[in-house]
């Protein structure tokens, strides 16, 4: 579904030019949940943003579904972008709009063939009762649920998740990972998750690429299973980590 060949992105840094992404090649299969992990500044978000053309490579080819993304006409590029949903670390909700209005927004900006209904996606993410609230009246986890509902409503064939849980605490992270896994099961899209959190990769991805300073250093088959045992409470988790580490 996604194929990158020798992709490089050069930026102007303080000490001259540098490659934020350096000769990266990878393939992500249809319906796969693929992780991209690396330290801050490794180039993860840049790689993710090539896929929906929010970022342009300096050289190399990015193909989605057999089409070279950067050879598309403006009109076809827009159609390509419409097939891709995205969720963000900071949720990117409009604070002056209600939950319902935020979720409905993509349908107001573009026409989609067979979108889901607001009711359906809000029910799916467990926010049916909060559709008239504003983002300021929601917890971080609830805000990300709104972000997920907004991405799902268009039935995207690809879902790009840029640090989807990095602003959340551990138990909320698990909840959001659960929602994303259910979304993948129910709607069957290709998912790319960019994160620096190993637990998130461990509990949701089938394969994972490791980026270091712009270089792809490995692609790992993730052994399925939870990232860590389930704890009955936050208190129990704190005790486990602080007393037994
Ligand atoms: N528009 C830009 N101009 C110059 N440098 C940039 C630009 N965008 C990103 N960079 C630099 O490119 C490098 C890779 O950035 P990127 O955001 O892809 O990394 P990341 O792995 O996603 O990091 P983080 O986890 O901190 O978001 C960083 O050094 C960043 O400062």
Pocket of ligand 1 contains residue 188 by CB under 6 Å: no
Q: How far is the CA of 210 from the centre of ligand 1 (A)?
A: 16
Average pLDDT of the chain?
A: 91
Q: How far is the CA of 187 from the centre of ligand 1 (A)?
A: 31
Beta strands in 122-181 (DSSP E): 158-162
What CATH number belongs to 29-45+74-224? 3.40.50.300
Bridge partners, 7 (sequence order): 24
ipTM of the complex: 0.95
Could you state, in order of their start, the residue ranges of all structural domains in the chain?
Answer: 29-45+74-224
Q: Which two tokens stand for residue 234?
A: 């936050």
Give the whole-angstrom CA distance, residue 122 versus residue 136: 17
Looking at residue 199, what is its pLDDT? 87
Q: Is 38 in the pocket of ligand 1 (CB under 6 A)?
A: yes
Question: CA 159, 217, 181 angle in degrees (round to 5)?
Answer: 25
Q: Which residues does the chain have with pLDDT short of 70?
A: 225-231, 234, 237-238, 241-242, 244-245
d(CA 226, CA 203) in angstroms, rounded, equals 5
């Amino acid at each position: 579904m996604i194929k990158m060949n020798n992709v490089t992105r050069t930026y102007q840094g303080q000490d001259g030019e540098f490659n934020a992404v350096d000769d990266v090649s990878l393939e992500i299969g249809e319906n796969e949940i693929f992780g991209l992990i690396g330290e801050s500044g490794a180039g993860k978000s840049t790689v993710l943003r090539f896929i929906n053309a929010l970022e342009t490579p300096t050289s190399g080819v990015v193909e989605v579904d057999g089409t070279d993304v950067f050879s598309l006409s403006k009109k076809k590029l827009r159609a390509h972008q419409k097939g891709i949903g995205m969720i963000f670390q900071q949720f990117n909700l409009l604070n002056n709009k209600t939950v319902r209005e935020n979720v409905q927004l993509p349908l107001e900006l573009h026409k989609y063939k067979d979108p889901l209904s607001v009711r359906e996606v809000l029910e799916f993410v467990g926010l049916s009762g909060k559709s008239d609230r504003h983002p300021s009246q929601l917890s971080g986890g609830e805000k990300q649920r709104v972000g997920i509902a907004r991405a799902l409503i268009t039935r995207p064939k690809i879902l790009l998740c840029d640090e989807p849980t990095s602003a959340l605490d551990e138990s909320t992270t698990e909840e959001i990972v659960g929602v994303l896994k259910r979304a993948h099961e129910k709607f069957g899209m290709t998912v790319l998750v960019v994160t620096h959190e190993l637990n998130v990769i461990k509990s949701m991805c089938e394969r994972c690429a490791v980026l270091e300073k712009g270089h792809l250093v490995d692609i790992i088959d993730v052994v399925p299973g939870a990232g860590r045992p389930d704890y009955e409470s936050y208190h129990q988790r704190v005790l486990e980590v602080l007393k037994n580490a």
